[in-house]
C-alpha cells in the first residue's frame, strides 16, 4: 500500500523565491503528495502571500492546505479568510494557535487552537478537513506533559480530522504520544512531521527553541563533521530515512515533510523508502 505523504512550504518574500518554489513544487509533485500545506506568519503577517501560493497550488490541480493561526486575530478576520478559501474551493486547513507578532500584547479573540477549530466548524460545518498540531516531546510552553496532552485532546474533540506533529528524531516519543492519545479515546490519525537535515547549526538552534530533542549521539556525530557539508548531508539522510522506516513499520498513518522550500532531500528520502 502506498504511503501517504504531505509536504509543507512557507510563502516566499521575493519574486525570485516564488519562482524557485514553483520549480521545487514541480519536482515534489512527482511524489504525488496527498496535499501541500503553506505556513502563515505570526499574527497573519503572511496572509496575502500564503493565499497567493495556496491559489497557485490549487490551480495546478493539487490539494492545498493553508495554515491558519488565530492568536492576535478577531472572529471577523478569521471568518473573512475562511470565506476567501471556501470561494477558492480550498477544502483543507491546518488550524493553529500561532505566535503573537513581536511587540503585540493582545491575544485577540482567540486564546487556544481548540477555540479556532470550534469556530471553523461553527462557521463552515464539514467543508474543511482540519489538521491540528501535536507535540510528541511536549510543547515548550506547556506546564506539564499531562496539560499538553489534554490541550491536544481538546483540539481533536473540537472537530479536528487529524494531527501533524512537530518534527522529532526519537521514534519512541511519537509512539508513546500516540499511545497516550489513544488512551484518551483519540482515534484520528496522528501524522509524524519529518524534518530533512540540510545542515546542523541552524537545526540545533531551531530545535532548542521549539523543544525538539536531538539525541546526544546524533548531536556529537554532527558536531564531529565540522564544516563538512557532504558528510552532514549523508548522515542526515541516513538518520531521517531510518526514522521514517521505523515510524511506518510501527503503524504511522503517513509522513508530513517540512521541506523548507527545497526538493532534493525530501525526494531522496522518499526514493529510499520506495
pTM for this prediction: 0.95
pLDDT digit string, tens, across residues 4-38: 999 999 999 999 999 999 999 999 999 999 999 99
The mean per-residue pLDDT over the stretch 154-171 comes to: 98
pLDDT digit string, tens, across residues 205-221: 999 999 999 999 999 99
- Position of cell 521545487? 24
Which residue among 8, 115, 118, 131 is the active-site one?
8
In 88-228, where does DSSP find H-type helix? 113-124, 145-157, 171-183, 201-210, 216-224
Report whether 253 contacts 191 (CB < 8 A): yes
Give, as one character, the DSSP assignment of residue 2.
Answer: P
8 is catalytic: yes
> Residue 25's closest CA among 13, 38, 15, 14?
38
Asked whether residue 92 carries a pLDDT value surpassing 80, the answer given is yes
> Residue 117's closest CA among 149, 84, 70, 73?
70
Task: List the domain boundaries for the chain.
Answer: 5-272
Buried b or exposed e, range 57-93, using 16+ CB within 10 angstroms: bbeeebbbbbbbbbbbbebeebeebbeebeeeebbbb
Q: What is the CATH number of domain 5-272?
A: 3.20.20.220
C-alpha cell at position 78: 478569521
pLDDT digit string, tens, across residues 97-133: 987 665 555 667 898 999 999 999 999 999 999 999 9
pLDDT digit string, tens, across residues 44-56: 667 899 999 999 9
Amino acid at each position: 500500500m502506498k504511503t501517504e505523504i504531505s509536504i509543507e512550504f512557507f510563502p516566499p518574500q521575493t519574486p525570485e523565491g516564488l519562482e524557485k518554489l514553483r520549480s521545487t513544487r514541480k519536482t515534489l509533485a512527482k511524489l504525488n503528495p496527498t496535499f501541500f500545506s503553506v505556513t502563515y506568519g505570526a499574527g497573519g503577517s503572511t496572509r496575502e502571500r500564503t493565499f497567493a501560493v495556496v491559489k497557485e497550488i490549487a490551480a495546478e490541480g493539487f490539494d492545498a492546505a493553508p495554515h491558519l493561526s488565530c492568536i492576535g486575530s478577531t472572529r471577523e478576520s478569521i471568518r473573512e479568510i475562511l470565506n476567501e478559501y471556501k470561494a477558492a474551493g480550498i477544502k483543507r486547513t491546518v488550524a493553529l494557535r500561532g505566535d503573537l507578532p513581536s511587540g503585540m500584547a493582545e491575544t485577540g479573540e482567540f486564546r487556544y487552537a481548540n477555540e479556532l477549530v470550534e469556530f471553523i466548524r461553527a462557521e463552515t460545518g464539514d467543508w474543511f478537513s482540519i489538521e491540528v498540531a501535536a507535540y510528541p516531546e511536549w510543547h515548550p510552553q506547556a506546564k506539564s506533559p499531562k496539560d499538553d496532552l489534554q490541550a491536544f485532546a481538546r483540539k481533536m474533540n473540537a472537530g479536528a480530522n487529524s494531527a501533524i506533529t512537530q518534527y522529532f528524531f526519537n521514534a519512541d516519543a511519537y509512539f508513546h504520544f500516540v499511545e497516550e492519545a489513544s488512551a484518551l479515546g483519540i482515534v484520528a490519525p496522528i501524522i509524524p512531521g519529518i524534518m530533512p537535515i540540510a545542515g546542523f547549526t541552524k537545526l540545533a538552534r531551531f530545535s532548542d527553541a521549539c523543544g525538539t530533542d536531538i539525541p546526544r549521539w546524533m548531536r556529537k556525530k554532527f558536531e564531529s563533521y565540522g564544516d563538512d557539508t557532504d558528510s552532514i548531508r549523508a548522515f542526515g539522510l541516513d538518520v531521517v530515512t531510518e526514522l521514517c522506516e521505523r515510524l511506518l513499520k510501527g503503524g504511522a498513518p503517513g509522513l508530513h515533510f517540512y521541506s523548507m522550500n527545497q526538493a532534493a532531500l525530501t525526494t531522496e528520502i522518499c526514493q529510499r523508502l520506495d
